Structure 1
Amino acid sequence: MITYHNLGPHQTLRTDASGMPLEWLNCEQVAKLLALDMVQYQFGTTITRLHGGINAKSGKQSFYDIPAIIGTKGYNNHIHKQLAQYVPPLNNQTLFKRDQNLCLYCGQVFNRHELSRDHVTPVSQGGKDLWTNVVTSCKRCNNHKADRTPLQANMRLLAIPFAPNYAEYIFLQNKNIIADQMNFLMSHFPKKSPFRQLRS
């Protein structure tokens, strides 16, 4: 039987052997990699302890301390090239997190259900549904802007939309990132990334 000790909402960041961030794993997935001896290194805060069965001979219960970050064995140069050119899928959840739930027209922070995706250059005017052409907008501002560009609507855009790189996208996928993980991910952000200003 498996039991948990101090299990929080945190996940482990998995990297490859070279330190390239790959994905978030839950504690069971990490324990499986540890049991299969697929983890090359681990570091950071222990986020939980996973308890297993009791050894019949020793009477001791087995456990794994689940770390904040693990590096798994193996390196694939092809994957590194793909990730360097990776454009993440666009969805409202990650868009709103990219813009920190801030309407990029009025500058106010809103709950997610009060936000919408706005096309800076409207689709009706040839705008594309791309990271570099969409921003988070409150519904009031989006309705006011309608099918116009910010210039046509006389509305100021507070930030230039950008496509996150792979490390930034991994950051956007997790709501509960601890300091160890944030510091690690930040080392993979572009130098001018707005996420460099954030702290866990």
Structure 2
Amino acid sequence: MEPAPPHPAFAQARGTAPLAGSPAPASLWPAPTPRGPRGPTPRLLSLDAHGRILNWMSWQDAACLYARGAVAWTLGDPCFTVHGGVNRWTGRQSIIALAPIIAAKGHANARVPEPTPALTNHALFARDQWICLYCGADGRRMPLTRDHVLPTSKGGRDVWENVVSACIHCNSRKGGRTPQQAGMPLLAVPFRPSWVEHLILSNRHILADQMAFLTAHLPKRARPQG
């Protein structure tokens, strides 16, 4: 299985261009990892019987679904093989070939609203590609902080749409002011990731079949162009 190609940059995916002279953000999506015996153990994409995307699951949980006969359908070529015990009567070892995308049997409610990704610093920094959204500094070389665009002292809320990644220097310089008051325009507009975007950002080892499936379910504004 070939790895999926990287996706467009954060600014391009969101339709917001960096300021002139500002460093261009890196690719929004982490590059998927091809399956193989020496690669990292893949996580499997869990769906309900209607195809609604649920979450990532471990190979152990996936193997349990197979063993219980609880798999409704699968997509993609097998990406991981589980070897079980040996049958005392036949002498054969049980083998389960796990697919990268697995839909489980059971009740599925298509009207359940999409969950909101938890707002953690790690998830925030991943959304912003590990850069300061004020100066573009690389957060992998210096600590990042959570900055409230509209300060909490002015009634700003701790929600996805009001927080950005900021280096310590920019956070301190901005203080209790808005970006306009501080003369510090943002490089991109903060947004609440969809559940699919959250799943992509939370897994650095996505297989090509999984990436293709997830990309097809991205919000239209976030889909790669071309």
TM-score, normalised to structure 1's length? 0.86
- The one-character-per-residue Cα deviations of 1:142-162 (angstroms, maximum 9, x if unpaired) are 122121111111111011111
Are 1:18 and 1:75, in contact at CA under 8 Å, matched by a contact in 2?
A: no
Bigger RCO of structures 1 and 2 (CA < 8 A, at least 6 apart): 2
CA distance in 2, matches of 1:112, 1:197: 28
- The ranges of structure 1 where at least 4 consecutive aligned residues each deviate by more than 3 angstroms after the TM superposition are none
Deviations along 1:114-173, whole A, 9 cap, x unmatched?
111111111011100000000111222212212111111111101111111222222233
Find the aligned partners of 2:153 and 2:94 in 1 and give their Cα distance. Answer: 61
Q: 1:3-82 alignment to 2 at 5 Å?
A: 6=37, 8-77=40-109, 80-82=110-112
Q: 1:177 to 1:112 in 2, by over 3 A?
A: farther
Supply the distance in 1 between the matched residues of 2:71 and 2:154 (Cα, whole angstroms): 51
Length, aligned pairs only? 189
Q: What CA distance in whole angstroms lies between the structure 2 residues aligned with 1:52 and 1:46? A: 16
Q: 1 or 2, which has the higher strand percentage?
A: 1
Q: Distance in 2 between matches of 1:107 and 1:52?
A: 50
Question: Which residue number corresponds to residue 191 of structure 1?
Answer: 220
Partner of 2:169: 140
Q: Which runs of 5+ in 2 are unaligned?
A: 1-35
Could you tell me the percent identity over the aligned residues? 43
* Residues 37-186 of structure 1: pairs in structure 2 closer than 5 A: 37-77=69-109, 80-84=110-114, 86-111=115-140, 114-186=143-215
Q: CA RMSD in A?
A: 2.1
Q: Is the 8 A contact 2:142 2:167 kept in 1?
A: no
Contact 1:83 1:166 in 2 (8 A): no
Q: Quick one: distance in 1 between partners of 2:142 and 2:99?
A: 34
Are the structure 2 counterparts of residues 52 and 113 from structure 1 closer, same or farther at C-alpha, using a change threshold of 3 Å?
farther
